[in-house]
Structure 1
Amino acid sequence: MRKYIVPILLACSLPALAMAQEKDSVTMRKLADEVLTHSTAYENLRNLTKNIGGRLAGSPQMPKAEQWGVAALKAAGADTVYLQECMVPHWVRGAREEARIISKRRDFIPPLNVLALGNSVGSGPDGVTAEVLEVASFDDLEAKKDKVKGKIVFYNVHFNPTYIKTFHSYRDAVMYRGVGASRAAKYGALAVIVRSMSHGANNFPHTGAMRYDSAYPRIPAVAIGLEDADRLSQRIKDDTDARVFLRTNCEMLKDVVGHNVIGELKGSKYPDQYLTVGGHLDSWDVAEGAHDDGAGCVQSIEVLRAFKALGIKPEHTLRVVLFANEENGTRGGTKYAAVAKAKNEQHIFALESDAGGFTPRGFSTTMDAAKKAKIASWRPLFEPYGIYDFKEEGGGTDVGQLNEALGTPMAELFPDSQRYFDIHHAANDVFEAVNKRELELGAFGMAGLIYLVDLNF
């Protein structure tokens, strides 16, 4: 008789599983209808981007954004809203960067469109004037190391156009922005120019964080727009006497006090166990930070609002966290994880949205195989809404700190990425670049995943 027990139990469990899926499907439909009909995410984003704008850590806009977050979470129906203090870097761009080609020729040469990289030092008032050495990779730099001294190194590294998931192109190219200055300074470079991390058909330079190796001099570092990168590359090939003048005015000041903004919906069964959902509140100074990451912030707030509107009482406490200083320090995510560890908090799951407010395609995840399989089993519940891809490994930068500190399973909303790097860290990351419908579909996807994780993890 024993050999029949498993099949009998399985047969008995199938109707129960079907009933559970049907119940979940009904709730998912209610969440979708609520978000797509009554969402406040788009208007919250308009308020954040148009009334506050760029909100780099340490800037005057930072505390204004924090107070916006407090008000938005209270309006969404959070049981508790509070600030979690953390020290954040205070980097200031200063006056607009200047870059131009200097040549003995008499043809008109328009200025180069550049932006200082975040955390870069300034050039000093006299700027830097030097010959440009173009390199295509770090290997190329090593091959040309004897030619570097006294020059401006130009990392003309193109985004790989063959990747369909464009974050893979970013993964391959971002190291030149991150450590390119110190790698060039090692051999005596005076400054670096980095081709923007983009394949956009425009000339917007894309800033972003860089870091120095203390073993080498700190030299100015800028990003250049793609059209001007191509123009500079061609010019130095055709005009061997060409030089570039570069002046930046940035500086790093003392750290200042910033805050994570946290809103909670108390768990009905396990109030001391937490589901975190969030985005980062800071953005680069040159843009409104609409996609990066105003979208993630308002989507996370919308999860809480939709639960509250539908009377969904999560079993675990739902925490919406608007993280401080993701862009040039990750101090907010680090502080959140450190406090959680110090308090011995039990974190069940963490979800972030930091890949733009475009059409959601799925979720990247980092967790054990059983939980990955569980999430994959929910694909039929998401497919009616165009959400189907659960294969990518990953998770957001901020919640990654929680994963590292506590081993918390994590995920990140995975939107279609084809347009993201047209605007990433650039002046065209504005409210008008966000589509209301796409933003709301992403918010629904996040709400649906949190709902299912709450009942099953």
Structure 2
Amino acid sequence: MKRNLLFILALITVMAQGQTPDESAIKQIFDKALVDGKSYTWLHYLTTEVGARLSGSPGAAAGVEWSRHELENVADSVWLQPVMVPHWIRGQKEIGRIMNTKKYGPIEVNVCALGSSVGTGPAGVSGTVVEVKSFDELKQLGERYLKGKIIFFNRPMDVKSVDAFAAYGGAVEQRGYGPSEAAKYGAIGVIVRSMGLNPEDYPHTGGLRYAPNIPKLPAIAISTNHADRLSKLLKEEKDVQFYFETHCETLPDAPSFNVIGEIKGSEYPDEIIVVGGHLDSWDLAQGAHDDGAGCVQAMEVIRLFKILGIKPKRTIRAVMFMNEENGLRGGIEYAKQAALKKEKHIAAIESDRGGFTPRGFTMTATDPIKTKIRSWKPLFEPYGLTDFSQEGGGADISPLEPMGVPVLEFLPDSQRYFDYHHTQEDTIDKVSRRELELGAASMTALVYLMDKYGLN
């Protein structure tokens, strides 16, 4: 009651300065996040003390316990939602080598196994490399030419695309489905150009999806710099040979949890607004931008409501989803349980595009709901959020969409995200404290308006 009274008194004070109640409430949210925010402190601990959190790993388990403990300090109630997750391990460091160049001799290159790939074992895989840019090229070359070869998918992300996520979407299918497509024509292994826009020496991992009833080929990513070098060599010399060795394997599914904390609504407790990020990360680094940032921003929404004394009308729920990276099991289980319990979600917001400068929100919803949310745009413009035009919601909340739930995603600046995405570079030193806190405040402000006015 005392905190709620302080919030009201602060609103009255700011309103006296000529601001509307909504303008003053949002200013308080941003002020508190920037002056007394906790998202960066949380993220620093999650990344440096817990570290990498690949599903099924000890790091993922530690992440669950850490987030549960922290949410218990700010939420009305906290619980763990069980979910079985894939358990893939990378094993010892991968080897990649161009074997037989006439001019340079053997050349060591930087590679890493793609997530969920089978391993080669100590014998490795060696063979002649065939470079392609598309699945249509594979089909045109056919089994007669490709059998027994290593396929090199080398379609780069489109640097002309200002939207880095659109560039990613235009290239990522070769990583996700390339190994199975190559297997159809008798290939023995796959190399995929890393999903990055810049010249880089480090490779990007990421999940692949084997098609059923097709041989599973071992698959690696190669850094963009070394992809360019390999491509150049293939133009200069015939029958370039490549060797790679990986020791990854998939173990039986492991038990894990989504971590859920909420503040109960005072007037409409059965109406739920979800904010979330995914707690799991790839194993190469700390998972700072992908997606530790989204998790702590979702947690900060709950904390800001509490510390500002805002008593929500509706239930505000923060969810740390498990297993977005290589299975989406957490998001699927959450939606399944919501349906079984007949829960009423009026909106779901995800942050999974990094902790960069806020630009707006994407949304997939009915036209009336989009119109209502866009009517709030003037309240966000003073804080740099101007883009409310794009379709889309996050991966973990996508299973809620068929249930009629409006899904939104926090939209930060996209230009640096794919420098770090799925790489050894995704570490806390790449995160700006100020940008992260601005993102948390942006999400909190949107939740505040949704809670106050509803979406009907």
Q: Tell me if TM exceeds 0.5.
A: yes
Letter in structure 2 aligned against 1:129: S
Cα deviation code 1:123-154 (max 9, x no counterpart): 12201110000001111111112311000000
Distance 2:334 2:223 in 1: 35
Query: Do structure 1's residue 247 and structure 2's residue 262 form an aligned pair?
Result: no
- Asked whether the equivalents of residues 104 and 241 of structure 1 are also in contact (C-alpha less than 8 Å), the reply is no
Query: Do structure 1's residue 315 and structure 2's residue 319 form an aligned pair?
Result: no
Cα deviation code 1:30-59 (max 9, x no counterpart): 001010110010010000000011100011
Distance 1:433 1:108 in 2: 37
Q: Which residue in 1 is equivalent to 2:10?
A: none
Letter in structure 1 aligned against 2:75: A
**TM-score of the two chains, using structure 1 as the length reference:** 0.94
Which of 269, 274, 277 is residue 276 of structure 1 equivalent to? 274
Distance 2:241 2:321 in 1: 42
Distance 1:287 1:401 in 2: 28
Which runs of structure 2 are paired with 1:118-129 in the superposition (5 Å)? Answer: 118-129=115-126
Shift of 1:221: 0.7
Shift of 1:385: 0.2
Aligned CA RMSD, in angstroms, stands at 1.2
Which runs of structure 2 are paired with 1:178-327 in the superposition (5 Å)? Answer: 178-327=176-325
Distance 1:204 1:314 in 2: 46
- Asked whether the equivalents of residues 266 and 317 of structure 1 are also in contact (C-alpha less than 8 Å), the reply is yes
Shift of 1:105: 3.0
2:397 partner SS? helix
Shift of 1:104: 5.7
Which runs of structure 2 are paired with 1:338-357 in the superposition (5 Å)? Answer: 338-357=336-355
- Asked whether the equivalents of residues 99 and 107 of structure 2 are also in contact (C-alpha less than 8 Å), the reply is no
Distance 2:199 2:307 in 1: 42
**How many residues are treated as equivalent by the alignment?**
436
- Asked whether the equivalents of residues 99 and 105 of structure 2 are also in contact (C-alpha less than 8 Å), the reply is no
Shift of 1:272: 1.8
Q: Which residue in 1 is equivalent to 2:67?
A: 69
Q: Which residue in 2 is equivalent to 1:136?
A: 133
Distance 2:388 2:103 in 1: 57
2:299 partner SS? helix
Shift of 1:267: 0.6
Letter in structure 1 aligned against 2:39: A
- Asked whether the equivalents of residues 288 and 431 of structure 1 are also in contact (C-alpha less than 8 Å), the reply is yes
Letter in structure 2 aligned against 1:322: M
Distance 1:68 1:426 in 2: 23
Which runs of structure 2 are paired with 1:159-174 in the superposition (5 Å)? Answer: 159-174=157-172
Which of 415, 419, 423 is residue 416 of structure 2 equivalent to? 419
Query: Do structure 1's residue 429 and structure 2's residue 426 form an aligned pair?
Result: yes
Letter in structure 2 aligned against 1:169: A
Distance 2:329 2:368 in 1: 31
Q: Which residue in 2 is equivalent to 1:7?
A: none
Distance 1:107 1:143 in 2: 32
1:275 partner SS? strand
Shift of 1:106: 6.6
Distance 2:75 2:213 in 1: 48
- Asked whether the equivalents of residues 277 and 321 of structure 1 are also in contact (C-alpha less than 8 Å), the reply is yes
Which of 77, 85, 89 is residue 86 of structure 2 equivalent to? 89
2:414 partner SS? coil
Letter in structure 1 aligned against 2:86: P
Unpaired segments ≥5 residues, structure 1: 1-19
Matched residues, percent identical? 50
Shift of 1:376: 0.7
- Asked whether the equivalents of residues 134 and 156 of structure 1 are also in contact (C-alpha less than 8 Å), the reply is yes
Letter in structure 2 aligned against 1:117: L
Distance 1:216 1:403 in 2: 31
Q: Describe the shift of the 1:21–1:326 C-alpha distance in structure 2 as closer, same or farther (beyond 3 A).
A: farther
Distance 2:274 2:239 in 1: 57
Distance 2:133 2:203 in 1: 18
Distance 2:56 2:102 in 1: 44
Letter in structure 2 aligned against 1:164: V
Shift of 1:205: 0.8
- Asked whether the equivalents of residues 129 and 239 of structure 2 are also in contact (C-alpha less than 8 Å), the reply is no
Unpaired segments ≥5 residues, structure 2: 1-17
Q: Which residue in 2 is equivalent to 1:454?
A: 451
Which shifted more, 180-189 or 230-239? 230-239
Letter in structure 1 aligned against 2:408: A
Distance 1:395 1:29 in 2: 26
Distance 2:265 2:32 in 1: 21
Query: Do structure 1's residue 362 and structure 2's residue 369 form an aligned pair?
Result: no
2:409 partner SS? strand
1:262 partner SS? strand
Which of 23, 27, 33 is residue 31 of structure 2 equivalent to? 33
Q: Which residue in 2 is equivalent to 1:371?
A: 369
Shift of 1:239: 2.4
Cα deviation code 1:16-37 (max 9, x no counterpart): xxxx981111100000101011
Shift of 1:201: 2.9
**TM-score of the two chains, using structure 2 as the length reference:** 0.94
2:96 partner SS? strand
Distance 2:37 2:202 in 1: 32
Shift of 1:360: 0.7
Q: Which residue in 1 is equivalent to 2:7?
A: none
Letter in structure 2 aligned against 1:210: L
Cα deviation code 1:231-253 (max 9, x no counterpart): 11111222224200111111111
